[in-house]
Amino acid sequence: MGTLDGKAALVTGGSRGIGAAIAHRLAAEGADVAITYERSAERAKTVVDAITGLGRTALALRADAADAAAVAAAVDRAAAALGGLDVLVNNAGVFPVGPVADLPLVEFDRAFAVNVRAVFVATQAALRHLRPGGRVVHIGSNLGERVPRPALSAYAATKAAVAGLSRGFARDLGPRGIASVVVAPGPTDTDMNPADGPRAADVLALSAVGRHADPADVAATVAHVAGPAGAFLTGSVVTVDGGVNA
Ligand code: NDP
């Protein structure tokens, strides 16, 4: 028996990194899972095959998070395929890096479209399908709370915005029995922030544990929030950063 037996989940940006780990963990807890992706069709298929191998239903949908119509359509298709929704994980994200003097406006706009606007769009679409007891989990960042290094203003602002959206969603959706929670990772070993990358030493300078998280560490917290143990969490930001913001 898993903590999510009989549940249906959609994870945006589930083809790689943290999203793939979340999709796999939710399926291991018993959920059927849909994922979205932008470009990585092969890697999305690998995630779907792994989940199918666990005996669960899985599907992958191409949907650019910057395209609101595509996001809403993917939510509807996922709900149709899985018979409704219990969990939405807004995970898809991009990581613009550059000081305010240099960061191109096009990167700023793209980051807000993918990291913020898509969260609003996907949540709005999911409300057509989420059952009472449903959970909306947003992948924020410890950088949404503190910005300990330069060149991160745009990214940090998107994640602070996600925390604001989530608090507001918690107020809007509480009466419907739907929770909204941010899981805010710190440095996590993915393509976005590789543990062996050139920025790793800077990234870990403030870490209390001196290493990147494994994506599975973040996925475990998402499973907690999405499962019975998370029943009274809403409006919260759960930071999973190895003490970077301590
Ligand atoms: P990766 O770059 O490893 O993976 C990003 C995922 O998001 C991929 O599945 C990618 O799809 C998808 N994605 C990106 N852009 C779009 C888009 N426009 N439309 C649809 N899907 C898209 O990132 P991580 O796994 O590291 O990050 C996942 C989340 O965690 C992000 O929100 C990120 O900001 C956050 N985060 C990450 C941290 C880290 O240290 N890694 C720390 C704190 C927060 P495709 O494969 O098709 O490109």
What is the full DSSP assignment across 21-73?
HHHHHHHHTT-EEEEEESS-HHHHHHHHHHHHHTT--EEEEE--TT-HHHHHH
Per residue in 62-116, pLDDT tens? 999 999 999 999 999 999 999 999 999 999 999 999 999 999 999 999 999 999 9
* Residue-range domains of the chain with CATH: 8-240 (3.40.50.720)
In the chain, pLDDT over 70 holds for what percent of residues?
100
Active site residue 37: no
Strands 237-240 and 179-185: parallel
pLDDT for the residue numbered 171: 98
**Cβ-contact 11, 26 below 8 angstroms:** yes
The verdict on the CB of residue 65 being under 6 Å from ligand 1 is: yes
pTM metric for this prediction: 0.99
Tell me, in angstroms, the distance from the centre of ligand 1 to residue 191's CA.
8
Q: Give just the sign of the alpha carbon dihedral 160, 8, 37, 123.
A: negative
Residue of minimum CA distance from atom 8 in ligand 1? 13
DSSP secondary structure code for residue 212 in this structure: P
Strands 130-139 and 85-90: parallel
Distances (CA, A) of 218 to 40, 72, 79, 183, 231: 21, 26, 24, 8, 18
Q: Is the predicted pLDDT of residue 1 greater than 90, yes or no?
A: no
The verdict on the CB of residue 192 being under 6 Å from ligand 1 is: yes
The verdict on the CB of residue 141 being under 6 Å from ligand 1 is: yes
Ligand 1 closest atom vs CA 41: 47
Ligand 1 closest atom vs CA 38: 47
The verdict on the CB of residue 19 being under 6 Å from ligand 1 is: yes
The verdict on the CB of residue 13 being under 6 Å from ligand 1 is: yes
Tell me, in angstroms, the distance from the centre of ligand 1 to residue 137's CA.
15
Q: In the predicted model, what is the mean pLDDT of the chain?
A: 98
Per residue in 114-163, pLDDT tens? 999 999 999 999 999 999 999 999 999 999 999 999 999 999 999 999 99
pLDDT for the residue numbered 27: 98
Residue 124 parent element (H or E): helix 118-126
What are the backbone angles phi and psi of residue 144, rounded to the nearest 5°?
-75, -15
**Cβ-contact 234, 167 below 8 angstroms:** no
Q: Give just the sign of the alpha carbon dihedral 230, 235, 240, 243.
A: negative
Per residue in 161-214, pLDDT tens? 999 999 999 999 999 999 999 999 999 999 999 999 999 999 999 999 999 999
Ligand 1 closest atom vs CA 140: 44
Per residue in 11-54, pLDDT tens? 999 999 999 999 999 999 999 999 999 999 999 999 999 999 99
Secondary structure (3-state) at 110: helix
